[in-house]
């Protein structure tokens, strides 16, 4: 098994995020006992392309899908791909995050474009146009809840920016439940700093 840094992981980078509204029956499966947030009969999925860059404990690329859940400000990661075997091993062993490997192509300027492909075939492509950003760093904190249940704290600061996005999703791939849908909101979290996980109890 690949060696990985101990938690918490201190990470830096850029994230491009979209929020989707789905019928509850179309949501991906959640860990036992974990319930999605439901509004007007609909649940939500939040997808993110993340470029973890030099300056953190690891640098790699990631695509994930999460479901906001009823446990305070929290989400459960249902699908996630990375291009780092070290990140894969750490995510699975430390936090029960179901990471798989994929190949990525990312470009940040003049627009953010991304694609991900696993050994089984294409997963998704996206294009983001950043429309404007806040002049200050926005702090936020939430939890990630995975099988177990295992609840891990996350703290992030970054420059929030409105964005417009378009997606192409393989209808036969693991995110096929989003094919034919459009996100109702997209944004970017630029130059973020993230602390994921908790320090071991002494």
Q: What is the pLDDT of residue 202?
A: 57
Rounded distance between C-alpha atoms, residue 176 and residue 22, angstroms: 13
Q: What is the pLDDT of residue 156?
A: 98
Rounded distance between C-alpha atoms, residue 56 and residue 9, angstroms: 8
Going by their DSSP bridges, the two strands 73-82 and 138-146 should be labelled as parallel
pLDDT tens for each residue of 99-150? 999 999 999 988 999 999 999 999 999 999 999 888 889 999 999 999 999 9
Terminus-to-terminus CA distance in the chain, angstroms? 25
Rounded distance between C-alpha atoms, residue 57 and residue 167, angstroms: 30
CB 84 within 8 A of CB 139: no
Return the bridge partners of 36, or none.
69
Domains of the chain, earliest start first? 9-196 (2.40.400.10)
Asked which of 11-20, 45-54, 78-87, 134-143 is least confident by mean pLDDT, the reply is 134-143
Burial class (CB in 10 A: 0-12, 13-18, 19+), 109: exposed
pTM value is 0.95
CB 90 within 8 A of CB 98: no
Q: In this model, does residue 2 exceed pLDDT 80? A: no
């Amino acid at each position: 098994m690949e060696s990985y840094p101990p938690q918490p992981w201190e990470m830096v980078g850029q994230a491009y995020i979209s929020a989707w509204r789905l019928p509850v029956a179309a949501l991906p499966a959640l860990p036992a006992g974990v319930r999605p947030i439901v509004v007007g009969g609909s649940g939500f999925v939040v997808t993110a392309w993340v470029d973890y860059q030099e300056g953190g404990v690891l640098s790699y690329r990631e695509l994930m899908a999460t479901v906001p859940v009823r446990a305070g400000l929290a989400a459960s990661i249902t699908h996630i791909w990375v291009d780092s075997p070290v990140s894969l091993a750490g995510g699975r062993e430390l936090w029960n995050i179901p990471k798989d490997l994929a190949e990525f192509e990312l470009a940040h300027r003049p627009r953010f474009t991304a694609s991900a492909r696993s050994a089984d075939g294409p997963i998704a492509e996206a294009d983001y146009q950043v429309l404007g950003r806040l002049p200050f760093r926005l702090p936020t904190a939430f939890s990630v809840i995975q099988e177990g249940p295992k609840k891990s704290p996350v703290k992030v600061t970054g420059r929030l920016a409105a964005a417009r996005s378009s997606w192409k999703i393989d209808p036969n791939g693991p995110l096929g439940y989003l094919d034919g849908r459009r996100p109702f909101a997209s944004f970017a979290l630029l130059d973020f700093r993230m602390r994921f996980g908790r320090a071991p109890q002494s």
